[in-house]
A and B are shown apart, each in its own frame.
Chain A
Amino acid sequence: MSTGSGAPVIRVDDLSIHLQTGEPVVEGVTFDVAAGEIVGLVGESGSGKTTTALSLLGYTRPGVVVRGGTVEVGGESVLHRDGRALRNLRGKTVSYVPQDPGGALNPSMRVGAAILDVLRAHRAGARSDESVRSALERVELGSDPGFAHRYPHQLSGGQQQRVTIAMACVCDPPVAVLDEPTTGLDVLTQDRILAELRRLRDEDGMAMVYVTHDLAVVAQMADRIVVMYAGRIVENGPADEVIERPRHPYTRGLVEAIPDFRHPRALRGIAGVSVGVGDWPDGCAFAPRCAHQQLRCHEALPELEETVPGHHVRCTRWMELDLHESGRGGGRERRAAATEAPLLDVAGLEARYRSQRSGRPAVDTVSFAVPPGRCVALVGESGSGKTTIGRCIAGLHVPAAGTISFDGLPIAGAARKRPLEVRRRIQIVFQNPFESLNPRQRVRSAIVRPLRVLRKLSRAEADREVGELLERVKLPARLGDRFPVELSGGERQRVAIARALAARPDLLICDEVTSALDVSVQAAVLELLQELQRDLHLSMLFITHNLGVVACVADTVLVMDQGSLCETGPVADVLATPTHEYTRRLLAAAPCLPDAAL
Chain B
Amino acid sequence: MRARFRFLRTGSGAIGASIVTFVVLVAIFGPYVAPHDPTAPVGLPLSGPSSHALLGTDFLGRDVLSRVLYGGRSVIGFALAATLLAYAVGLTIGLVAGYTRSLVDPVLMRAVDVMLAFPPLLFLLVLIAGAGTGIAVLVVGVAAIQAPGISRIVRTATLEVSTRGYVEAGIARGERAFAVIGREVLPNILAPVLVDAGLRFTYSILIIASVNFLGLGLQPPNSDWALMISENRTYIQLNAWSVLVPAAMIGMLTIGINLTGDAIARSLGRSYVPRTMRSVAG
Contacts and interface: CB of A to CB of B under 8 A. Distances in A.
A526 interface: no
**Most chain A Cβ neighbours within 10 Å, of B101, B277, B279:** B279
A3 to B, nearest CB: 32
A276 interface: yes
Interface in A371-386: none
A204 B155 CA distance: 51
Given A436-B164, A520-B281, A396 B172 contact: yes
B272 A485 contact: yes
A381 to B, nearest CB: 21
Contacts of B172: 394-396, 415, 423, 426-428
A232 interface: no
B34 to A, nearest CB: 44
Interface in A455-497: 483, 485-491, 494, 496
Interface string A433-458: 00111111100001001100110000
A520 B281 CA distance: 8
Interface in B176-195: 183-184, 187-188
A518 B281 CA distance: 7
A439 B275 contact: no
Interface in B151-168: 164-166, 168
B2 interface: no
If over half of B's interface residues share one DSSP class (helix, strand or loop), that class is named, otherwise mixed; here it is: loop
A203 B171 CA distance: 54
A44 B281 contact: yes
A494 B184 contact: no
A283 B174 CA distance: 52
A275 B279 contact: yes
Interface in B80-131: 101
Given A420-B174, A423-B174, A486-B274, A430 B169 contact: yes
B37 interface: no
B279 A438 contact: no
Contacts of B101: 354
A202 to B, nearest CB: 34
B271 interface: yes
B280 A521 contact: yes
B276 A517 contact: no
A199 B173 CA distance: 50
Contacts of B281: 44-46, 273-274, 488-490, 518, 520-521
Interface residues of A, number: 54
A415 B174 contact: yes
B282 interface: yes
A491 B282 contact: yes
B273 interface: yes
If over half of A's interface residues share one DSSP class (helix, strand or loop), that class is named, otherwise mixed; here it is: loop
A513 to B, nearest CB: 11
Contact of A496 (B165, B187, B271): B165
A529 to B, nearest CB: 15
A485 B3 CA distance: 15
The range of chain B's interface size is 20 to 34
Interface string B195-216: 0000000000000000000000
Contacts of B169: 428, 430, 436, 450, 499
A16 to B, nearest CB: 17
B173 A423 contact: yes
B282 A490 contact: yes
A334 interface: no
A438 B280 contact: no
A280 B282 CA distance: 16
A418 interface: yes
Interface string A175-202: 0000000000000000000000000000
Nearest to A418: B174
Nearest to A432: B165
A453 B175 contact: yes
Contacts of B278: 46, 276, 486-488
B220 to A, nearest CB: 48
A348 interface: no
Contact of B277 (A277, A503, A518): A277
B279 A453 contact: no
Contacts of B271: 439-440, 483, 485
A443 B279 CA distance: 18
A490 B175 CA distance: 27
A518 B280 contact: yes
Given A418-B174, A453-B173, A454-B173, 7 more contacts: A415-B171, A435-B165, A438-B166, A438-B183, A485-B272, A486-B275, A524-B282
Interface of A: 44-47, 273-278, 354, 394-396, 415-416, 418, 420, 423, 426-428, 430-432, 435-441, 446, 449-450, 453-454, 483, 485-491, 494, 496, 499, 503, 517-518, 520-521, 524
5 contacts: A273-B281, A277-B276, A485-B272, A485-B273, A489-B282
> Nearest 6 pairs between A and B by C-beta?
A436-B165, A46-B279, A430-B165, A489-B280, A274-B281, A45-B280
